[in-house]
Structure 1
Amino acid sequence: MPRHLRTTDLLPIGDLARRTGLSVSAIRFYEEKGLVEPIRTSGNQRRFLRSDIRRLSFILIAQQLGLALSEIETELAKLPHGRTPTAGDWQAISKSIRGQLDARIAQLERTRDKLDGCIGCGCLSLKHCKLYNPDDQLAAEGPGPRKVLG
C-alpha cells in the first residue's frame, strides 16, 4: 500500500459494492476492463480509493445515457490515477461528452418528429412514399432509415 494513503482512505470491495449498489462481480468486471484499479494489501486483498465510488457512479450514469463501455473507458482514462479527481477533472469529462449527448438528443428529436408519418425510409406509407422517396432513390444512400439517420 502506498505510504501516503491511510487505511481509512481505502474501501474493501464489499463496502464499495454497498456504497455503489453494484454487485462485487460487476466491480470485478470493471476492474478487469481497467475502469477501476484496486490497491492490493500485503495479504493480496483488493482495496479501493473512496474516489472509486464516483468513478463507478459515473460508469452507471454514462451507461444510462447510452455511452458504450469503450467511450466510458476513454473518458475515465482522462482522470488522474492515485488521487481523487477534482471538480475540474469531472468538469472536463462533462464537457467532453456533452457533444455526444447533444448529437444523440438531436437524433432522438428527428426520430420523434418523423416517426408519426414515416420511419425515414417511406416503407410504412405507400401514399407518401412517392413524395419522399420516388423510385426508392434513398436505397442508393444505404440501408436503413436514411432520412432519420442521415
Structure 2
Amino acid sequence: MAVRELSVGYVAKRCGVKVSTLHFYEQKGLIQSWRNAGNQRRYKADVLRRVSVIKAAQKLGISLQDIKLTFATLPLSRTPTKQDWAKLSKSWQQQLENRIQAMIKLKDSLDGCIGCGCLSMKTCPIYNPEDELAVEGPGPVILER
C-alpha cells in the first residue's frame, strides 16, 4: 500500500493553519515530513490528525512542550490508532481538571479580594488585615489554597 503524500500547502489549507505554522511544528518536533525528488516537503495523512490535536490542545491551554512529550508516546512508524489517541487524551485529563478548578476559583473570586496583598480594595482588610497574607507568599495566595 503506497503512502499518501500530502503537500505542505494542502495540509495547511486542510488544517486551517499557515504553512509557516507547519514548519514551526516540524522544527519543534511535533510533526515530521520528508522531501520528494523535487525537494518539496511531503507529509503522511496522519499529520492531519496530529495538527488537529495540536490545535485543540493549544485551545485548552496545553503547552507545546506538553504536547511534544505526549506525542513522544505515539508511534512514528504507523498511523496512531483510536486506542493511541485515547491514551494521549488521558494524559491531559488531570491537567485540564486542575485548570478547570483554578478557573472556577478565579471566577468565584473576581468580585472580591483574591489575596494579592495590594490593600487597595475596601474589602481587603476583611480578608487581609495588616497584610497577614504576606507571610504566605507573593501574589494571589487565596486563589492558590
TM-score (structure 2 length as normaliser): 0.91
Instruction: In structure 2, give the amino acid aligned to 1:26.
Output: T
Runs of 5+ consecutive residues of structure 1 not aligned to the other structure: none
2:25 counterpart of 1:30: yes
Report deviation, 1:136: 1.0
Report deviation, 1:10: 1.8
Equivalent of 2:104 in 105, 109, 119: 109
Contact 1:118 1:124 in 2 (8 A): no
Report deviation, 1:38: 0.4
Residues 72-87 of structure 1: pairs in structure 2 closer than 5 A? 72-87=67-82
Report deviation, 1:52: 0.4
2:59 counterpart of 1:64: yes
Instruction: State the number of aligned residues.
Output: 144
TM-score (structure 1 length as normaliser): 0.88
2:101 counterpart of 1:132: no
Instruction: In structure 2, give the amino acid aligned to 1:136.
Output: D
The residue that corresponds to 2:5 in the other structure is 10
Runs of 5+ consecutive residues of structure 2 not aligned to the other structure: none
SS at match of 1:19: helix
Distance 1:47 1:6 in 2: 14
1:43-69 residue CA offsets vs partner (Å, 9 max, x unmatched): 332110111001001111111111111
Contact 1:119 1:148 in 2 (8 A): yes
Report deviation, 1:124: 4.5
Q: Which has the higher helix share?
A: 1
Contact 1:51 1:85 in 2 (8 A): yes
Instruction: In structure 2, give the amino acid aligned to 1:75.
Output: T
Report deviation, 1:41: 1.8
